[in-house]
Amino acid sequence: MPPVNVRLPVLTATEVIANLEALRARQPVKYAAFYSSQLGGIVTDPALMVIPFDDHMVHRGHGIFDTAGIVQGRIYDLEAHLDRFMGSAERSKLTLAGSRDAMRNIIVSTVATSGLRDGAIRYWLSSGPGNLDLSPAASAQPGFFVIVFGGLSYPDRWYTEGLRVMTTTYPIKPPLYAITKATNYLPNVLMQMEAKEAGLDNGVFIDEAGYVGESSNMNVAFVTSDGVFRHPRFERVLPGCTSLRLLELAQSLVGRLFTGVDVCNIPVADARAAREMFLIGSSVKVAPVVEWDGQPIGDGRPGPAARALLALLDEDMRTGNRLIDVPY
């Protein structure tokens, strides 16, 4: 911030670009490529990865997003992520910026330009710029944005020792907002910050009826004391693409590690008595939770189901039938 009483400069376009570059020099980021329908193409300089301030995604949160992974030069399960993206757009009354085929093509091209062979793709649909009102401006054109980056990473300790979580004090989202991946993540942000401030790894939402919800950007699932792989219904939680896939893949473990696979409301008391508990998502994959609100889950150590589910997912991400080749 400039000192008080100093006349503020009115900047030229050249100065703006220089200042954006200086900002990124002070705070380097590793975003490999960015597509913007507003810019009309792809940029690789993070200083140019910008969006107009009056886009309603910025000042009203009227936008949606999704994230898919890049594994060994291929995109994993993009169709499932696009299905969810289309559903989020419809529920948010957002006009698509192009057809599904056009969006897929832009995503694949942006990954190819990035050169990244392992990482993540996050893409957004925005309501568009044009005014500072609530409803989109009459002339608003929806924006489509894609960023390719290294992906979120978590400590090795999460997988070797397991995570410690707490029940958040923040209220869970109502169903419409829980199943729509909109750019309104305030409850999720506050929940994660609250857990970190308490020296823990993450939080868990519980709904008003006392059923388990989800974590900040991950689903939660359990192995019950009688061996059922149990997941909350996808009503108060985001339908996680990773969870939905694992619920299919886990069938191969029934009769060995699991006595069944089940999606239902899970009362907190049942959940606390689980043999194992996991966080599941595209970025975390499958990570064991060993402590919840100061009480151990099972024997307080990562269990065999967490390892088996992670192995199943890893195999699917590398050699399964849900991979798209990238024309680098």
Ligand X SMILES: Cc1ncc(COP(=O)(O)O)c(C=O)c1O
Q: Which residues are catalytic?
A: 181
Residue 14: φ, ψ to 5°: -65, -40
Pairing of strands 285-292, 295-296: antiparallel
d(CA 302, CA 28): 36
Query: Residue 24, SS3?
Result: helix
- Does residue 168 belong to the site contacting ligand X (CB under 6 A)? no
- For the bound state, the minimum distance from the C-beta of residue 239 to ligand X, rounded and expressed in Å, comes to 8
Q: Name the one residue in this structure whose structure tokens are 């990954």.
A: 111
- Cβ-Cβ contacts under 8 Å for 165 (sequence gap 6 or more): 195, 200, 201, 202, 203, 204, 215, 279, 289, 291, 292, 293
Contact pattern for ligand X over residues 207 through 226, marking x by CB under 6 A: -------x--xxx-------
- Does residue 129 belong to the site contacting ligand X (CB under 6 A)? no
User: Residue 42 or 285: which CB sits closer to ligand X?
Assistant: 285
Contact pattern for ligand X over residues 269 through 298, marking x by CB under 6 A: ------------xx----------------
- For the bound state, the minimum distance from the C-beta of residue 144 to ligand X, rounded and expressed in Å, comes to 18
Task: Output DSSP code: residue 251.
Answer: G
- Does residue 67 belong to the site contacting ligand X (CB under 6 A)? yes
User: Residue 140 or 181: which CB sits closer to ligand X?
Assistant: 181
Contact pattern for ligand X over residues 219 through 258, marking x by CB under 6 A: x------------------x-xxxx---------------
Residue 21 tokens, joined: 């570059």
Residues lying near ligand X in the complex (CB under 6 A): 67, 188, 214, 217-219, 238, 240-243, 281-282
